[in-house]
A = this chain, B = another copy of it.
Amino acid sequence: MSDWPLEDRGVAYGDGLFETVLVRDGTPLLWEQHLARLARGCRVLGMPLPAREHLEAPLVEAGAGLSVLKLILTRGSGGRGYALPETLEPRLRWRLDPFAPSAQRWRHGVRVRHCRLRLGIQPLLAGLKHLNRLENVLARAEWTNADTAEGLLCDAEGRLVEATCMNLFWQRDGVLETPRLDRCGVAGTLRVTLLERAPIREVDAAPETLERVEALWLGNSLQGLWPVARLDDAEGNPLRHWRVGPSHRPLQALAHEALGYPAITP
């Protein structure tokens, strides 16, 4: 696909939205959930949602096997400064790339750490996959060792929110929980799906909560669900280890069913 014009509001202001979609043999997974989030983002930003046929057009170019479709929708060009253009002509661009999930992490789990960065609280934009992602970039830059898979983020008031590009789930006293996302964070499509299919409570929780949970997972619609085997503090020192095993598998199996990934046996 072609480039972005110099004056596009996507680069000038991050004035737009994106979706990253797992595609198997030309079929997009969790597609209704992706479309619903994009539609909600368009309502909040005051942009028209492109016709479904335009959003689905790239799929004809996906070959056999797994690929990842990245859709970026910006408000287009125009407007004086931050003011909206009188006539909105959003700009849709996409790319398709081959994809392979980190399958060994499904079985053995991952090492994660707390990030120092605190997410700003902005309820207007909470849950949306918009193009203002500098916080995620800066949080991801907090570590460079390859054996740390993700970083966990709290909001400015110290509540757990998400990981830099995944949502967070845990089991505490036998109950499945995930952070509420009404102040900041991205409401992942896999999270939406798991909330529909499993009894998961949306809660406010402090980061110390995680040191007392029976099981912890990270997940998104590309990678599926990773059990967490080790949690580090923001300096990389261990806070807690978990034995990855049977207690991690039922929720993982639900997630993987939705994505066409295999269920892992203990």
**Using a CB–CB distance below 8 Å, which chain A residues touch chain B?**
1-16, 18, 44-46, 72, 74-75, 81-84, 93, 95, 117-122, 124-125, 130-141, 156, 164-165, 184
Q: Are B11 and A72 in contact (CB under 8 A)?
A: yes
Cα separation A95 to B225 with both chains bound (whole Å): 45
Contact of A14 (CB < 8 Å), options: B4, B84, B133, B156: B133
Q: Are A138 and B45 in contact (CB under 8 A)?
A: yes
Cα separation A74 to B132 with both chains bound (whole Å): 13
Cα separation A133 to B15 with both chains bound (whole Å): 7
Copies in the complex: 2
Contact of A8 (CB < 8 Å), options: B4, B124, B137: B4
Q: Are B84 and A13 in contact (CB under 8 A)?
A: no
- Give 6 A-B pairs besides A15-B133, A122-B156, A124-B135 with Cβ atoms closer than 8 angstroms: A4-B11, A6-B93, A8-B11, A13-B137, A82-B133, A82-B165
Min C-beta distance of A125 to chain B, whole Å: 6
Q: Which of A3, A5, A137, A138 has the most CB of B within 10 A?
A: A137
Neighbouring B residues of A132 by C-beta, 8 Å: 13-14, 132-134
Q: Are A120 and B121 in contact (CB under 8 A)?
A: yes
Given contacts A6-B3, A137-B15, contact A120 B184 (CB under 8 A): yes
Min C-beta distance of A251 to chain B, whole Å: 23
Residue of B at shortest CB range from A151?
B82
Cα separation A138 to B84 with both chains bound (whole Å): 9
Q: Are A82 and B164 in contact (CB under 8 A)?
A: yes
Min C-beta distance of A192 to chain B, whole Å: 20
Min C-beta distance of A78 to chain B, whole Å: 12
Cα separation A158 to B136 with both chains bound (whole Å): 25
Q: Are B124 and A117 in contact (CB under 8 A)?
A: yes
Neighbouring B residues of A14 by C-beta, 8 Å: 11, 13-14, 131-134
